[in-house]
Chains A and B, each alone.
Chain A
Amino acid sequence: MIKDKSETTIETNRHQELGLTDQDVLDIYLNMLKARRVDERLWLLNRAGKIPFVVSGQGQEAAQVGAAFALNRDKDYVAPYYRDYGFVLAWGMTIKELMLNNFAKAEDPNSAGRQMPGHFSSKKLRILSHSSPVTTQNPHAVGIALAAKLKGDDIVSFVTFGEGSSNQGDFHEAANFAAVQKLPVVFMCENNHYAISVSLKHQLACEKISDRAIGYGMPGKTFDGNDPLAAYAAVKEASDRAHRGEGPTLLEANCYRLMPHTSDDNDMTYRTKKEVDEAKKNDGVLTFANYLRAVGVLTEDREKKMEEQVRKEIDEATDYAEKAPFDDADTVLRYVYEEEN
């Protein structure tokens, strides 16, 4: 922050220092906004009885989108987890595809209605399919990096997971394996402070998730998960390190889960409205918009246009997905094994 003569605070232009253009940060914001508005629409659709289930990413968009922009979106492989709406939008998945996913329709590229919503997958986009038993994707991301190393491909394998997941054996086994083999993996924990109802202090005794990195012989870093620029900087550094052959990094995005765990959860049974309201003050979607306004990148007119564009896209996508057919019942037996021809 710098102060001008009249003592009013003027925001430093932080994104230029990171090599990001005004258009880049507007794109980052647009993706965050899309993720937020899609998420909000999903809750409405659920409460209206149109879709059976929502798993929410609200409060984690900044870290997700900032991370995606720091990676090579044409080459790198990613294993996002089920709250990563912001991430997959920034990675190339469309709102229409996300709506098809949530309505579980045949055209859903993630699983054609096999999996619950938010279980992202796309070979075309190099998004690994993941499941509901958490953290199983971490060893897969390591396997991708191992295979790329064996084939001499210069890529980074990026994986996300929650802080509860960082207690799983697969978190440990994957981190250790990647470090021993010096593989190009970026582990990013989205610490949203809750594993369903169990808060951080009941999940782990160390101060930060990133403190665990030293046990694997890799660097660990915690950053403000409400700030996409902090996420960008941290993931960029980890990715550069991976490209240089220096091995994996453990990152921790300090976020907050603004919504209940899922549409089937009631978070007021284990946390207070006051706590949630307090966290909302730091909501990345709001604070980043403030930043963009302060540095003169986001004008009122542009913001209005963005909101209109996103709303229109969501309306059309919702309409399309709702009307789209489910997969035929006889496809339930398809693709258990490879099919001939």
Chain B
Amino acid sequence: MPVISYIEALTQALDEEMSRDENVFIMGEDVGMRGGVFQATKGLYEKYGENRVIDTPLAESAIAGVGIGAAMYGMRPVAEMQFSDFMLPAANQIISEAAKMRYRSNNDWSVPMTIRAPFGGGVHGGLYHSQSMEAIFANVPGLKIVIPSTPYDVKGLLKASIRSNDPVLFFEHKRAYRLIKGEVPNHDYVLPLGKADVKRKGTDVTVITYGLMVHFALQAAEKLADEGISVHILDLRTVYPLDKEAIIEAASKTGKILLLTEDTKEGSIMSEVAAIIAENCLFDLDAPIKRLGAPDAPAMPYAGPLEQAFMVKPEQVENELRNLAEF
């Protein structure tokens, strides 16, 4: 099976979906001739032309809003927000419009649109090119929020998102784009939205996480295995709505749980995961539920040492897991 990067898996999924369904088209800033500032849409403009890979004016609300209109006409727009930090001007279109369209029209209209956006830190992106935006949208019924961690998941989940008849926010970790490589089949496959995935089986401690942090957890688990600590890792993959069943199962399995996110901690996705565990698994717990996330400061600073101080580090994950195992 070919080994490709996270971002190559993304481009492959887009390419295959565009060739499979003529209603799929891409719109966003710099997605055309430039191929996207991260090159996620590389080669697609040349292959599908300017009508299907549309360079839009620099206006995020229009990117979302025009996408909604096109979706209502029967198209399947894949809109790119250049950085998730820049999607807040589109928040009204996403929250008030896309998310509520089916509900408010009593199932008459729908918005089969995917909004892709790179998120996450560790790339010297400063305050506004590093943020995790998922929690802002994770209280909005009608939306689905997908965050893949591996190239295999990227391809299968992006295809599923594009084929979904409801709006999907698809957050891609920008540091994972070229850092993370993995096996991806050349053939067509989809992975289910709303389903978490066990990335490592273990018996002593459970980590529930998503995005780049899955790899931090895998790395830590590898080290701890040498010390005789067995770590179970659940990758949420869809962070809204959450896969409650999988969360309860993973938490109950070891009774010691680390909830890991690179987002600022209070009000994060992990706060909700903690609540689900608290409501359902109290008598299976052998230690207090532990959350590890970024500090509750506005966003990741630009200067190297400050960025390091803000970002969750692999050693912290390792330490927290060791502490839990020894609890």
Question: Hey, which bits of chain A sit against chain B, CB under 8 A?
Answer: 77, 109-112, 114-115, 119, 121-123, 128-129, 131, 133, 136, 138-148, 150-151, 157, 169-170, 172-174, 176-177, 180-181, 334-339
> Per-residue 0/1 for B85-98: is the Cβ within 8 Å of any A Cβ (1 yes, 0 no)?
00001001100110
Is B122 close to A, CB under 8 A?
A: no
With an 8 A cutoff between CB atoms, is B141 at the interface?
A: yes
B101 touches A129 (CB 8 A): yes
The 7 closest A-B pairs by CB, nearest first: A143-B69, A139-B65, A147-B73, A173-B62, A140-B69, A147-B70, A143-B70
Bound CA–CA A304/B252 (angstroms): 76
Q: Are A77 and B106 in contact (CB under 8 A)?
A: no
Which one of A119, A138, A334 contacts B65 once the chains associate, using CB atoms below 8 Å? A138
Q: Name the one of B68, B100, B110 contacting A143, with C-beta atoms under 8 angstroms.
A: B68
Q: Interface residue tally of chain B, by bracket?
A: 35 or more
Interface pair A173/B65, CB less than 8 Å apart:
yes
**How far is A123 from B111 in the complex, measured between Cα atoms in Å?**
13
Instruction: For residue B188, give the distance in angstroms from its CB to the closest CB of chain A.
Output: 21
Residues of B within 8 A of A (CB): 25, 51-52, 54, 56-57, 59, 61-62, 64-75, 77, 89, 92-93, 96-97, 100-110, 141-142, 144, 164-166
Selected from A77, A136, A180, A181, the residue in CB contact (under 8 A) with B97 is A136
Is the pair B106, A140 in contact by a Cβ cutoff of 8 Å? Answer: no
Q: How far is the CB of A300 from chain B (nearest CB, A)?
A: 43
- Residues on A with C-beta less than 8 A from B164 are 338
Cβ contact within 8 Å between B73 and A144: yes
Q: Is the pair A150, B69 in contact by a Cβ cutoff of 8 Å?
A: no
In the assembly, what is the distance between CA of A141 and CA of B69, in Å? 6
Q: Give the chain B neighbours of A334 by CB distance below 8 A.
A: 106-107
Residue of B nearest to A131 (CB): B96
Known A-B contacts A114-B106, A140-B69; A131 and B97 likewise in contact (beta carbons under 8 Å): yes
Is the Cβ of A335 less than 8 Å from the Cβ of B109? no
Are the C-beta atoms of A77 and B141 separated by less than 8 Å? no
Flag if A142 contacts B65 (CB, 8 Å). Answer: yes
* Known contacts A123-B108, A129-B101, A177-B56; A338/B166 CB under 8 A: yes
For B108, the chain A residues whose CB sits under 8 A away are 109, 121-123, 129
Chain B residues, Cβ within 8 Å of A157: 69
Closest to A159 in B: B69
Contact: B103 with A336, CB < 8 Å?
A: yes
Contacts of A150 in B (CB 8 A): 25, 51-52, 70, 75
